[in-house]
Amino acid sequence: MSAPLAKAADAERVLDVANLRAYYQTWHFGISRDVRAVDGVTLHVDRNEIYGLAGESSCGKSTLIKTIVRAIRPPLAVIEGSVRFDFGGRACDIYALDRARLAGIRWRHLSYILQGSMNVLNPVRRVRESFVDFAFRHIGKPMPQFLALVEDHLARLRLDPAVLGSFPHELSGGMRQRVTIALASVCRPDFIVADEPTTALDVVVQKDVLALLREVQRQIRSSMILVTHDIGVHANATDRLGVMYAGRLIEEGRTGEVIREPRHPYTAQLVTSLPRIGDIEPKQGLDGAPPSLAAPPPGCRFHPRCPLAMEMCRREHPPMVEVAAGHRVACWVKAPPGGMAAP
Amino acid sequence: MFTVLRDLLRYRTEFRFGAILTGFIAAFAALSLVSPYPPHDQFVVPPDLPPSWSYWFGTTSRGQDVFWQLTFAIRNTMLFGLSVAVLSRLVSVAIGMWSGYKGGIVDRLLMSVNDTFIVIPLFPLLVLFYFVLRDRMSWPLLALAMASLGWAYDARLIRAVALSLSSREFTQQCVFSGMRTREIVFQEHLPYVLPIVFYTTMNNMNWSIGLEVTLSVLGFTDIDTPTVGVMIYWANQHTALVAGVWWWVFFPVLFVMILFIGLFLLAISTNEYIDPRSRLARMGGVSG
Amino acid sequence: MSALLDIDRVGMSYVSGTLLARRVVRAVDDLSLRLEAGRPEIVAIIGESGSGKTTLARMILNLATPTDGVIRFRGTDVAKIRSNHARADFMRQVQPIFQNPFEAFNPLKRVDRYLFMSARRLADARGTEVDALADRALHQVGLSLAEIRGRFPHELSGGQLQRAAIARALITAPKLIVADEPVSMVDASLRMSIVNLFRSLRDELHVSIVYITHDLATAYYISDRVLIMQRGRAVESGAAREVLANPQHPYSRLLKASVLSPEDAGKPTIAANT
* 3-state secondary structure labels for all residues of C176-190: EEEEECCCCCCCHHH
Share of chain A above pLDDT 70, in %: 94
The whole-angstrom distance between B274's CA and the closest CA on chain A is 13
Q: What is the DSSP secondary-structure string of chain C?
A: --EEEEEEEEEEEEEEE-SSSEEEEEEEEEEEEEEETTS--EEEEE--TTSSHHHHHHHHTTSS--SEEEEEETTEEGGG--SHHHHHHHHHHEEEE-S-HHHHS-TTS-THHHHHHHHHHTS---THHHHHHHHHHHHHTT--HHHHTT--GGGS-HHHHHHHHHHHHHTT--SEEEEESTTTTS-HHHHHHHHHHHHHHHHHS--EEEEEES-HHHHHHH-SEEEEEETTEEEEEEEHHHHHHS--SHHHHHHHHH---GGGTTS--TT---
How do beta strands A76-87 and A13-28 pair?
antiparallel
Among A307, A315, A296, residue whose Cα is nearest residue A334: A307
Q: What per-residue confidence (pLDDT) applies to A8?
A: 46
Question: What rounded mean pLDDT belongs to chain C?
Answer: 88
Q: Which amino acid is at C82?
A: R
Q: Cβ of A30 and B10 within 8 Å? A: yes
Alpha carbons within 13 angstroms on the beta-carbon side of residue A50 total 29
At residue A338, the 3 state secondary structure works out as coil
The confidence score (pLDDT) of residue C271 equals 35
The better pLDDT of the pair A79, B274 is held by A79
Cβ-proximal residues to B6 (8 Å cutoff; 6+ apart), any chain: none
**What residues of C are in contact with residue A324 (Cβ under 8 Å)?**
none
Q: What was the pLDDT predicted at C274? A: 26
Cβ(A220)–Cβ(A47) below 8 Å: no
d(CA C230, CA C253): 12
**Cα(B214)–Cα(B218) distance, integer angstroms:** 6
**Least confident range of A20-29, A49-58, C241-250:** A20-29
Spans of chain B below 70 pLDDT:
1-5, 8, 271-288
Among A120-124, A149-153, A210-214, the least confident range? A120-124
Record the pTM: 0.80
pLDDT band of C51, cuts 50, 70, 90: confident
d(CA C245, CA C256): 9
How deeply is A324 buried, as exposed, middle or buried, from its count of CB atoms within 10 A (0-12, 13-18, 19+)?
Answer: middle
Mean pLDDT of C30-55: 90
How many of the other CB atoms lie within 10 Å of CB of B100?
A: 25
Query: Closest approach of chain A CAs to the CA of C48, in angstroms?
Result: 6
The answer, yes or no, to whether residue C90 has pLDDT greater than 90, is: yes
Q: What are the C-alpha distances in Å from B209 to residues B79, B128, B215, B265, C259?
A: 10, 19, 10, 16, 66
Cα distance between the two ends of chain A: 21
Q: Which of B7, B281, B287 sits opposite A30 (nearest CB)?
A: B7
- How far is the C-alpha of B239 from the C-alpha of A179, rounded, in Å? 73
CB C96 within 8 A of CB B176: yes
| Cross-chain residue pair B178–C152, CB shorter than 8 Å | no
Half-sphere exposure of residue C218: CA atoms within 13 angstroms, side-chain side: 26
Contact indicator for A313, A334 with CB cutoff of 8 Å: no
Candidates A33, A111, A13; CA nearest to A68 is: A111
Q: Which residues of C touch B174 (CB under 8 A)?
A: 106, 114, 117
What is the distance between the alpha carbons of residues A304 and C194, in angstroms, rounded to a whole number? 20
C-interface mutation test, from A50, A118, A172, A203, most C Cβ less than 10 A away: A203
Phi/psi for A240 (5° steps) reads -120, 155
% of chain C surpassing 90 pLDDT? 57
The whole-angstrom separation of Cα A332 and Cα A338 is 11
Q: What is the pLDDT of residue A3?
A: 44
Chain A residues closer than 8 Å to B278 by CB: 28
C88–B172 C-beta distance less than 8 A: no
Pick from B168, B178, B286: which is nearest to C118 by CB? B178
Report the pLDDT value the prediction gives residue C56, as an integer from 0 to 100: 93
Tell me the chain C residues in contact with residue B179 when contact means C-beta distances shorter than 8 Å.
117, 121
3-class secondary structure per residue, C103-127: HHCCCCCCCHHHHHHHHHHCCCCCC
For A299-323, the pLDDT digits (tens) are 899 998 888 888 888 888 899 999 8
Amino acid letter, A328:
R
Using an 8 Å CB-CB cutoff, list residues of chain B that contact chain A: 7, 10-11, 278, 281-282, 284, 287-288
Please give the CATH number for the structural domain made up of C3-15+25-257. Answer: 3.40.50.300
Q: Counting one residue from A and one from C, how many pairs have CB atoms under 8 Å apart?
A: 147
Contact by Cβ (8 Å): B74, B81: no
Identify the CATH class of B67-279: mainly alpha
> What are the boundaries of each domain within chain B?
67-279
Q: Give the single-character DSSP code of B287.
A: -
Instruction: Evaluate whether C8 touches C70 at the Cβ level (below 8 Å).
Output: yes
CB-CB neighbors (< 8 A) of C88 in chain B: 178
Q: How many residues does chain A have?
A: 343
Number of B/C CB contacts below 8 angstroms equals 62
- For A112, the 3-state DSSP assignment is strand
* pLDDT for residue C231 is more than 60: yes
Whole-angstrom CA distances from C271 to A220, A260, B232, C83, C189 are 11, 19, 82, 62, 29
| Contacts with C47 (C-beta within 8 Å, 6 or more apart), sequence order | C53, C212, C214, C228, C229, C230
Closest CA of chain C from A281, distance in Å: 8
Cα–Cα dist C101/C98, whole Å: 7
Cα A157 to Cα A178: distance, rounded to the nearest angstrom: 9
CB proximity list for C254: less than 8 A, separation 6 or greater = A204
Give me the pLDDT at residue A251, please: 94
pLDDT at C172: 92
A vs B, Cβ pairs < 8 A, gives 25
Among B10, B11, B288, select the one facing A24 at the smallest CB separation: B288
CB neighbour list of residue A341: distance below 8 Å, 6 or more residues apart:
A263, A323, A334, A335
| Nearest CB to A278 within list C196, C245, C254 | C245
Distance CA(A213)–CA(A219), nearest Å, equals: 10
| Lowest-confidence region among A289-298, A303-312, C63-72 | A289-298
pLDDT tens-digit series, residues B119-151: 888 888 888 888 888 777 788 888 888 888 888
Q: Which contacts qualify for A328-332: CB closer than 8 Å, 24 or more apart?
A: A328/A251, A328/A252, A328/A253, A329/A250, A329/A251, A329/A252, A329/A263, A329/A264, A330/A248, A330/A249, A330/A250, A330/A251, A330/A264, A330/A300, A331/A250, A331/A263, A331/A264, A331/A265, A331/A300, A332/A300
* Structure confidence at residue C184 as a pLDDT band (50, 70, 90): confident
ipTM above 0.90, yes or no: no
pLDDT at A204: 86
SS3 content of chain B, % helix, strand, coil (to 5): 75, 0, 25
By C-alpha distance, the chain C residue nearest B190 is: C108
Q: Do B288 and A75 touch (CB under 8 A)?
A: yes
Flag if B282 and A29 touch (Cβ within 8 Å).
Answer: yes
Cα-flanking dihedrals φ and ψ of residue A176, to 5°? -60, -40
The answer to whether the Cα torsion of C180, C186, C188, C193 is positive or negative is negative
Q: Is A281 on the interface with C (CB under 8 A)?
A: no
Write down the pLDDT at residue C273. 27
Q: Within chain B, what is the greatest distance between any pair of CA atoms?
A: 74
Where exactly are the structural domains of chain C? 3-15+25-257
Per the CB < 8 A criterion, the answer to whether A44 and B257 are in contact is no
Mean pLDDT of C196-214: 93
Task: Give the pLDDT confidence score for residue B281 in this predicted structure.
Answer: 61
Q: What is the mean pLDDT of chain A?
A: 86
Peptide bond connecting A75 to the previous residue in cis, omega within 30 degrees of 0? yes
Does pLDDT of C272 surpass 60? no
Sheet holding A191-195, edge to edge: A110-113, A191-195, A223-227, A50-54, A240-245, A248-254, A327-329, A321-324
